[in-house]
Every structure is written in C-alpha cells, then in structure tokens.
Amino acid sequence: MYSPEIPKAPTLFKLLVFPWLYLISKQPFWLLYRISDCVFVLLFYILRYRRKVVRENLRNSFPNRGNSYLKSIELKYYRHLSDLFVETIKGYSISEKQMMRRMINENEDVYLHYYNKNQSFIVVMSHCGNWEWICLMSQLTCKQQVFCTYKTLSSDGFNWFMYQIRSKFGAKPVSMTETLRSFANNRDIVTVTALIGDQNPSGVNQVYWADSFLNQETAFLSGPAKISKKFNLPIVYLDSRKLSRGHYAARSITIVDNPSDLTEDQISQRISYHIQNEIQNQPEIWLWSHRRWKHKRISK
C-alpha cells in the first residue's frame, strides 16, 4: 500500500504554538463554544474578516432574495465558521465515542455494498458542514482504507497539525499533488478516496464550466471526473448538514456507478448539481468566505 508523505513541523511551532492548540483541544464542548462566541465577535465585528467577499458571493448567488434574508445567512455563516475553528482543533483529542455521536454516517450500507464487491470508489463532498470531522468519521464507519485529499497549507506547522488530526483514526491524508500516485499505487487494495468537489481551480485550463451554478458561470476542477474515468471508479456524493451546534449528519448518494457510461463533462455536471443542492438546502454552512468565483470564462 502506498503511504503518502507525512508533513513535518518546525521545532518552534511544536514548542510555542502546538501546546496552546493541544490545550484548546482538551477543553469540554461547552467551553469551546464560549470560545467560538468570542471568535465570532472578533471575525465579524472587529476584523470584519472577508465580509465584502461573503456579501458579494451571497448577493450573486441569491439575486432574488431580500437583504434581510442575506443578512441572516451572513450572520449564521460567521457563527458556523467560528464553530468550525474550535471543532477542528477539538479533532486532535476527540474520542471515537464523541466522534460517532457528533458526526453521523446515515447510510453505511453504500460503503458496505462496494466493499462486498471488492470495488474501490471516490467520495466527492463540498465545503459544507464540517468536512474535517467527516474525514475523522469516515475511517470509523467503513471497512475500506480511507484516503482524504487535502490542499497543502502555506504554514508547515499548521500543515503538520492538520495532518495529525486527519489521520487520528486511521485515515490517510494525501496532498493534492500526490493524488494520482495514490490511486495508481493502491489498485491492489479496496479504498475510499475523498475529494473536495468545490475547490477553486488555479486556472481556467482543463476545467468544467457549470453555466448556472448558484446563478453564476462557475469553474470546477475536472479531476474527480478524470480520475473516475481513468481508474473506472464509481462516485458517491456525500451530502452534509448541520443538525445542531456540534452535531452533523452525512448522507451518501451514488451518482456515478459505471463511469464508462458517461463523459467527463456529464460526471462533472452531476457533481456540480449535487453541490448546488446541498448549499441551497442549508446555505449558512457553506464556505462563503472562499473566493470561489475569481475566475471568469474566456470568450472564444
């Protein structure tokens, strides 16, 4: 089995930053959410973190909704973002029992179905809910070896810390640069590989353009479709929702069972459709501060 490269942390990070992160992770949830309340005030009122980006994204995505609705989603989003901050850190020390109670995998039978067929497959999800907890939950609820792809952070220290969280229960984090190598070198075992479907492409070459994703032309990475076709892997979409503060549920939907029956564009269209539905069902839990629409289609 191919083992992805493990990030390393600078000594200063381990000595000066990590102890504080560890201390936060050990706190009970009731205290963590008091910290989250303070983070919300800091992000929304003091730093005004990317508020212009969030408001523009919401206004363009829901052009027919009034200001009161958009303002409500904006406030709920920043509260959710603050919760994500403390929940992600909590992931370092969270127990299996807590994880299983707070991130529910509603239909494990989808995973068991492919496991019994000795069939590896791809899970595509979005930046909805708590995608870091999904990575943690996944290896606890399915028999396959789970690989979670991630985008390398600019900080070596935080990149190492996030790797420790994601691999806590046995999942293997794989950087985006190693994704193809992981697929090619793990053909002899049954795997589940999680890909984020709403990452913003670095450029506009070799992307899939959705004509009206949240009322806008939107570029999608074509990687999931290309990998599905290349390695003949089914695609399961993981739809996440927030039940209450600190409690989530994930529902798995097979959207591509036989990749040979579809083109890459048809596969990408199905992915974008399910991402849009997930966002529209609970818009406040999507990553609105992400600069999702910075690329525009080049007219020919």
Amino acid present at 300: K
- pLDDT attached to residue 1: 65
Give the residue carrying structure tokens 């708590």.
130
- pLDDT attached to residue 3: 67
How buried is 273 (Cβ within 10 angstroms: 0-12 exposed, 13-18 middle, 19+ buried)?
Answer: middle
Give the whole-angstrom CA distance, residue 229 versus residue 182.
Answer: 16
DSSP 8-state symbol, 43: I
pLDDT tens, position by position, 176-202 = 889 888 898 888 899 999 999 998 887
Give the contacts of 296 (CB within 8 A, at least 6 positions apart).
204, 217
- pLDDT attached to residue 297: 81
Give CA separation, 80 vs 104, 282, 283, in Å: 18, 12, 11
Cα 59 from chain centroid (whole Å)? 23
Residue 279: which of 214, 222, 227, 187 has the closest Cα? 214
- pLDDT attached to residue 136: 94
> What number of other Cβ atoms are within 10 A of residue 50's Cβ?
17
DSSP 8-state symbol, 9: -
Q: What stretches in the chain show pLDDT beneath 50?
A: none
How buried is 137 (Cβ within 10 angstroms: 0-12 exposed, 13-18 middle, 19+ buried)?
Answer: buried
Contact, 123 vs 193, CB < 8 A? yes
Tell me the two tokens of residue 166: 């994601």
- pLDDT attached to residue 2: 61
Q: Are strands 172-175 and 121-125 parallel, antiparallel or unpaired?
A: unpaired
- pLDDT attached to residue 294: 87
- pLDDT attached to residue 202: 78
